[in-house]
Copies of this chain bind each other. A is one copy, B any other.
Amino acid sequence: MNGKIYFSYSMIHRTIKKLSEEIRDSGFNPELMVAIGTGGFIPARIMKTYLGLPILTVGIRYYNKENKLQSEPERIQWIDEVEEKLKGKRILLVDEVDDTRSTLEYCLRELIKQKPDEIAVAVLHKKEKPKAGKIPSAVTRYFCGETLPDSWCCYPWDALDIVEHERIANQG
């Protein structure tokens, strides 16, 4: 739909179910999730239903209050007592979309500093496009629910009119 892809909540829930099964079948056995806010909140919360893991959250933003892109992201929230919570743990970092990969790279690099035993990434969607960011080599596993062409993703949680949004998504 005009270079935009509309997702219903039900589609996303089913993609997360499939993704969770893939993670379980991979042999990776994470102890906790770290959700990147605010895009990762809903995917991570649905994933909790299937994987049963606690969720920690981190929030960053690349745009300041004047909507100007900053070279370094601002931390909206990070994890307190980080070392105790992440050191030696198997962590699954969750976000909604691997777009430019900059946010993923930033968060992975910061979390790796805390010496987890293993860290993996799970994204609902991966866009097929050149990536500005890199997945650090310490990350051995990358899971994605669905690979998409480089288009504008319209997520249901961003809908002002959810009935109309779901109608368009279901026409898809």
In the complex, the answer to whether A10 meets B9 with C-beta atoms within 8 Å is yes
In the complex, the answer to whether A44 meets B46 with C-beta atoms within 8 Å is no
Question: Which listed residue (B61, B76, B80) contacts A78, Cβ 8 A?
Answer: B80
In the complex, the answer to whether A156 meets B13 with C-beta atoms within 8 Å is yes
Q: Which residues of B have CB within 8 Å of A9?
A: 9-10, 13, 156, 162
From A9, A50, A159, name the one whose CB has the most chain B CB atoms within 10 angstroms.
A9
Say how many copies of this protein the assembly contains: 2
- Which of A51-59, A110-118, A130-138, A141-149 has 4 or more CB atoms under 8 Å from chain B? A51-59
* Count of residues in A whose CB is under 8 Å from the partner chain: 37
Q: Taking the complex as formed, is A79 at the interface, i.e. its CB lies under 8 A from any CB of chain B?
A: yes
With A and B bound together, what is the CA distance between A54 and B10 in angstroms? 26
Q: Taking the complex as formed, is A72 at the interface, i.e. its CB lies under 8 A from any CB of chain B?
A: no
**Using an 8 Å CB-CB cutoff, how does the interface string of A64-84 with B read, 1 for contact, 0 for none?**
000000000000111111000
In the complex, the answer to whether B76 meets A54 with C-beta atoms within 8 Å is yes
Q: Taking the complex as formed, is A17 at the interface, i.e. its CB lies under 8 A from any CB of chain B?
A: yes
In the complex, the answer to whether A162 meets B17 with C-beta atoms within 8 Å is yes
Q: Taking the complex as formed, is A105 at the interface, i.e. its CB lies under 8 A from any CB of chain B?
A: no
A50's nearest neighbour on chain B, judged by CB, is B160
